Amino acid sequence: MENFKKSMTIKSTDRVLVSSKNALQTAGNAIMFGGIIVYPTDTLYGFGVDARNETAIKKLNEIKGREGPMSVIAPDANTVLSWTNISYKDWELVKKFLRGPTTIILPVKEGIVHQSILGVDGTLGIRIPSHSFGPDLVGKLGFPITTTSVNKTNQDPLNNPNEIINEFYGQFDILIDDGNLPVSKGSTIYKLEKSKLIVFPADFDILLFPNHSLLFFTASL
């Protein structure tokens, strides 16, 4: 874990350009202080908090108007492997789908995240976006942060920084601004079941409905 400053004073809803040399430090300080950030990924802007921090997770749930599982960002494939309880055979399949606009739901070890964001079967959605900001931030922090779309439940995700600030002003701490992102439904969702990856529509909440996998098709190599 890098030397983030836990004594930092955060003004309500600061905006920092993703190109700023201080962007990672500022976001890391906010996360370490129990704050909420908004940051860009390769699909959508995401709300990020320390995925181990129950209080921060509760604040994020209040903003979203929901409770339940969330996915997290990982910095690299080796870290994903260290977090999970899967066989070598399953890992050989999973690692081929990890990077980019995908979320893979996997069984994870106890203590990696707070239990409130796990699926009912003890699984966790994990992403390594091709946009470098989230993985770089998690790599420096040394623990996962959440990734969930910037919207209230049942509303469309916001990908315009000005709209995000107008809608959620004062409810989060830092916006890492990478401009308007293209319209997206989010990442493709996979779940590991019986050594196969089950594919789900991007708008299907598999984390809340883990037993619906038989409705969909398996990923092939």
Assign residue 35 the CATH number of its domain: 3.90.870.10
* Domain total of the chain: 1
How confident is the model at residue 221, as a pLDDT? 31
User: Confidence class of residue 211 from pLDDT cuts 50, 70 and 90?
Assistant: very low
Q: Is 4 inside any structural domain?
A: no
Output the CA torsion 133→139→144→148 (10° steps).
10
Task: Tell whether 221 is covered by a domain.
Answer: no
Q: How confident is the model at residue 1 (pLDDT cuts 50, 70, 90)?
A: low
The pLDDT, as a whole number, for residue 185 is 76
Task: Please tell me the pTM assigned to this model.
Answer: 0.86
pLDDT band at 11 (very low <50, low <70, confident <90, very high): very low
- pLDDT score of 6 more than 80: no
Order the strands of the 123-127 sheet from edge to edge: 14-17, 174-177, 37-40, 45-48, 145-149, 71-73, 123-127, 102-107, 188-193, 196-200
With 50 as the cut, is the pLDDT of residue 207 above it?
no
Which 8-state DSSP code applies to residue 158? P
In the chain, what's the furthest Cα-to-Cα distance?
49
Q: Do residues 139 and 77 make contact, with C-beta atoms less than 8 angstroms apart?
A: no
In a domain, 1, yes or no: no
Domain assignment of residue 145, given as a range? 14-215
Is there a domain that residue 5 lies in? no
| Res 218 pLDDT > 80 | no
pLDDT at 9: 45
Q: Is residue 9 part of a domain?
A: no
Q: 174 pLDDT exceeds 90?
A: yes
Choice between 28 and 5, residue whose per-residue pLDDT is larger: 28
Average pLDDT for 95-104: 92
Residue 7 lies in a domain: no
In a domain, 220, yes or no: no
Q: What confidence category does residue 12 fall into, taking pLDDT thresholds of 50, 70 and 90?
A: low
Does some domain include residue 136? yes
The C-alpha angle 32, 104, 81, rounded to 5 degrees, equals 70
Which residue, among 131, 140, 124, 141, has the nearest Cα to 190 in the 3D structure? 124
What pLDDT, on a 0 to 100 scale, did the predictor assign at position 177? 97
> Is a pLDDT exceeding 60 seen at residue 208?
no
Residue 137 has pLDDT above 90, yes or no: yes
